[in-house]
Structures are given as C-alpha cells and as structure tokens.
Amino acid sequence: MKTSQAYAFLSLALLGEACLLPGEASGGHIARRQDITGSNTGIAIGTGDRFEGGKKFPRGLGSQPDGTNLETLLNVNEIKSAVHGLVEEYGIDSIEYFESPYKTYQNASLFGAKVGGSGNCSDAYRVYFNAAIHARERGASDNIVYFISDLLYANKHGEGLAFGGRTYSNCDVRRALSTGIVFTPLSNPDGVAYDQATHSCWRKNRNPAASGGDPDAVGIDLNRNFDFLFDFLEDFAPSVGPNVASENPRAQTYHGASAFSEPETKSIKWVMDEHKEVRWFMDIHSYIGVVLYNWGSDENQLRKPYMSFLNESYDAVRGLMPDTPSDNGIYGEYIPSSDWSEKVFAAMRMGNAMDAAVGRHYEVQQSAYLYPTSGASDDYAYSRHFADPSLGKIHGFTVEFGFGNNEASCPFYPTPDQYHQNLLETSAGFMEYLLAASEIGVGEAASCFRHDSIPAAVSALISLDARTGLFTVDAGEDAEATITLPSLATYATVVFLHCTGDFLDTAQPGALRGYVQSGGGFVGVHAAASGLREDDWYGELVGAHFDQHPPPEEGVCIVEDPEHFITRRDGAHGKNSVEDADQIRKRWTDECYNFLSHPRDNKNLHILARGGPSAFEGGTMGDDHPLAWCQEFDGGRSFYMGRVTRLNNIGGNNENTDR
C-alpha cells in the first residue's frame, strides 16, 4: 500500500468536481448542465476598452488603497489592451509583448509578455504563468494581468505591495521579478469571447471540426489536449480511463483528435520551447480553493524510477486510487525525492499566502488526489524532461482559485466581492510562488543580458583615445578569446564594461587573477560590480559587490580628491564643492548602486567621488554613498566607477601616462 491513502479518500470526496460541474466528470459524456440560463449573476463584464488600446495602463489592488473597486471584469479586448498599456507605460526594457505563430479557429492569436529576469533574451525567463485555458473560469486573466501590473508599478516607484493581509517589501518585488516571468493571460481567446457573449458556462475552445453540426459538440477541452498519457483508454486502468477524459465531442472533457491538435495548446508548448530555461509553470483555474502539484496521473512514489508514465507495462493499473495489491494493481508515478519536496514547499508557501490574504482557506495537495487526469498542462510541463532529457525540468502547478458563486447562474462567474477576493488571494499566492522559486532555484543565471549603455560607453572610451592619444582601445565581447593570460599580457589595462552575471567560464577568473598579479590594470564600470557574485577575489578587485539599485534618478556628485590624476582636469569639475556639484545635478540622472558591503569599510580603497547628502532616494547606504574609487590590489591596480553617464569625464588632461 502507498502512503497518504486516507488523505486521498478525503480529498477526492471534497474536491472531486473542481473545474467540472456536477455530471460533467462522470464518464465525461454530459455536454453541459441544463440549468444554465444564459444569464450572468456574477460580476459584470467591462464594455468598451478602459485602457484605450494601450494608452492607459492597469494597476492591481496591491498597489492601490485598501478597498479599491475595479468594478468590472476585463473583457477579451481589454485583456490584450491592458498588456499593451503595460508596455507603453514601462517600456520594452521592463516588459516585452509577443504573439505565438499559431492562429485559433476564429483567427485569434495567443499573446503574452515577459518581464523581469536578467535580460531581454529568452533564456532570462524562468517562470511561466498561463491563464484562461477553460473559458468560463472568469477572472483568471484578470488575476495574472493585475498581478504583473502591481509588480511593475511597485518596481518602478520603489514601493512594496499589500494584498489584503499579506504584505511584501520592495525588496520582495525585485526578487520576484528577478526570476523572469513569462505569462499568457488568455490562452483560449475564442472560448472566452463566446462565454462572455453568451453567459453559457462554456469550457472548451470553439473548434467545430468534430461537432457534426451539433452546437453542443463544438470545441475541445484544451486541458486534455497536451501530450501526457493522451491515449487515456489505453494508458489508464479500465475503470479509470473513461473518467479522465473523453472521446465524445459532446463531453466537456473531449480531448480532441490528437495531442496538440489545437493551436491554443501548440502555442503553450511553443512558449515553453522558445523559453528553454523556464523551470516553473503555473496554470490558473477556478474554482475549488486548492493549490495542486504534480503528478495528476496517480499517487507519487520515489523508490522505483521504472514505474512511470513511460512504462506501458503499467497501463492496466495506472490511476487506481487506492491500489489493489490482491489484483497486482500497485502503481505510483515516479518523482525524485528532491522534486517532490520542492513542489510541496512552493505549493505550501503559495497556499499559506492565499489563506492570509482574506482569510479563506486553500487546500494544498498532489493533483491526482483531486481526480486523475490525462493530457493536462501541468503534467505535460513536468513530463517533458523525463520523455526527452535534453529539455529542462519544469515544475508543474495548478491553482484553483475562488470558491464558486452559489447563485443560479454559472458557479464559475464570481460575484463582485468574490472577484476582488480572488484578485487579492491569487496575487499573494503568485508572489509567494515566485519567492519560493527564487529560494529553491531557477537554474543557472542567463548570460544573455547586454546592458543598453554598452555602445555609448565604448564610444566614450574611443573618444578619449582620439582626444588624448594616450592609449588605444580594442573593444570586444568574446570573453573566451580575450580573457586568457597570453591575450591579456598585450594590454596595460582591461576594462569590464557593464559585465553582469557569471560571464567568465571556470578557467578565465584564474587568467584574470594572474594578469592582475603580474601588474595588470583593471577598470570596472557600473554593472561590473554585479558580475561573478560568488567570486570573493573578484569582489575585492572591484572593491564591492552590487546589491541593488532604485530606479534612475537625478543625483549630486562630490569629488573627494580633485588632485588625483583620475579626477584632475581643466574646468570646475575637479573642484570639491557642493556648489559645483549642484551645477552637475541637472546633467546627471543615473542608477545609484547600493553595495553588499560599504566601500568605506574597505581600507584599501581610495574613494574619489561620492554622492551628495541625501542625494539618492532609494539609497540604503546613508549620506556617505561612494561612487568611484581606486586601489593597489594584489600586485596590480584597480579603478571602479558606479556611474554610467559621465564616463567621458575621465582622463581630461591626464599627464600620468604610466597609469
């Protein structure tokens, strides 16, 4: 016997009809409840476009005063308009819109966006949220759109967020965004449009291919159309298979002609394929108040790797819960122990946060205890790396938000009060999910980020070369070819210009160290302090490791040592006076780095410039905020400047050509 059987019985009894109405799960052959009247007793659907095609941007409840009323549900057009509004407000550096290459039956595109992470290439994004795969589950799209809106607003303004009884700091916001988020807020656009127009409690998409002209047989259950145990009648025990999906087009769980037969599910797969480093997946559903984690095919087991969905010899017993040892019906879906514990940890964090938001209790459990399923998105996401080891592991989760509308209309249509409660609960849950993912791990840091200021900084160095004739600049981005002892030995100084992440391989830090110890010079500019975070020697070479920074803001720079050869030049910029610094103020807006350790505590550093008193609204280092310094270090010499926009101030009439 497997563990948790008593829990399994309890969960099946309490939660067996999530996502499905009474009668829709039994045998899968009931098309729809017959008491759906076509009326809407839930929150009203918005009319027009409150975001004016992207000219206005959304804000969620977390960044607005307690009790804010959003009044109406987002209509289909507003969901896309909201995403465009976020792009217009926060810019492509903060959020990037995309569309999949597949068109739905009604010629709609599945669209989405990506935010945060360590850059603007696909490898920077590690968490994927999908919403509205079941058309009638109203508020799913709103939940993710307004949550992303809150993250971007709080990040831009240096604020925290409050979701009812759950609050988060701005540091939490930055950590959440650092995971890199991809989201598709409307993965069933045809179905949602139809449901909003008819109030018919419509679940499936609108593909009529198998309907034979029967309006009740239109559509495929998209969450049975993924390539995971798709041939359910063969893959599950005979007593289980007919309940996990259906081959009857009239059924709410009709799985379609083949796995990924639908453009909607192809699009979700495309998002995973395009963003190869995604490691966490969340599918957003309603309504039963539960957070679910893999697997959904049978109870988990961690001792027998050969006992898995890939092994056809277990097809006759898969899905039996509880097992029947007397009939040789023992089966459990294999999951590595570490994966299981990580899923439970993240799901519990999410469930507890949702509980705290408005006081309603969310269950947390393995998906199979709800009811066994085939072809579901979360199991497909997790199964990919088992079926093809070249693909990355994606932890799969589903949240069933809300607790249903007890009015006579479709119970998936939340009342206005329920709608706002759902927004608070899911936002708190999503935030905790991202923070848990950040703690557990989202994979190796992406190496794709390229700082926007690199071209301007390279131009400034070349300009200094031309103006002074003191040196020659070779600029390149091939670290593998450049950071070797023979190559570095040909240069007096190496400049790391906005190098972030782990940009050197295992041998290259040793080459850099050997170069410096042989008397080589090092210049680090701005984001160079955020590179090689685990390398203590590199942190000492730079002088301090980057912690975080507020949004770009206007600043005051005070030169502490105007006689040093780095800062000495003709004109007023070398004068150490607040008055002259004020003259610079109008020309200087920049990211003011906060460091993990205070540079002033490093007695080897010679501070050249600092920020003026109370100059940095988002500063964490007090009024004494060093911006640039130099040092003799480990046989060589090092100079670091934290400012981007005044690089061409360096080296005016410098006569010390040896340095």
Tokens representing residue 369 in the block:
């205890």
Look up 563 and say whether it is catalytic. no
Collapsing DSSP states into helix, strand and coil, what is residue 402?
A: coil
Beta strands in 359-512 (DSSP E): 363-366, 395-401, 493-497
Q: Are 415 and 405 in contact (CB under 8 A)?
A: yes
Residue-wise DSSP of 150-186: HHHHHHHHT--EEETTEEE-HHHHHHHHHT-EEEES-
Longest CA span, the chain:
93
Q: Which residues contact 245 (CB under 8 A, 6 or more apart)?
A: 28, 221, 224, 232, 253, 254, 255, 373, 374, 375
Q: Which ranges of 284-410 would DSSP assign to H, the alpha helix?
A: 337-358, 377-387
- Measured N-to-C along each axis, helices 170-178 and 416-440 cross at an angle, to the nearest 10 degrees, of 70
Q: Which ranges of 469-568 would DSSP assign to H, the alpha helix?
A: 479-482, 485-488, 508-517, 536-542
Tokens representing residue 509 in the block:
């830090």
Tokens representing residue 135 in the block:
């058309």
Q: Are 30 and 23 in contact (CB under 8 A)?
A: yes
Q: With b meaning 16 or more CB within 10 Å and e meaning fewer, what string describes 261-288?
A: bbbbbbbbbbbbeebebbbbbbbbbbbb
CA distance 213 to 217: 8
Cis before 202? omega within 30:
no
Collapsing DSSP states into helix, strand and coil, what is residue 395?
A: strand
Of the candidates 210, 79, 62, 172, the residue with the CA atom closest to the CA atom of residue 132: 79
Q: Is 30 left (phi over 0), alpha (psi -120 to 50) or beta?
A: beta
Q: Are 403 and 287 in contact (CB under 8 A)?
A: yes
Residue 254: DSSP 8-state: B
Residue 416: DSSP 8-state: H
Of 400, 425, 432, 591, catalytic? 400
Kindly list the catalytic residues: 400
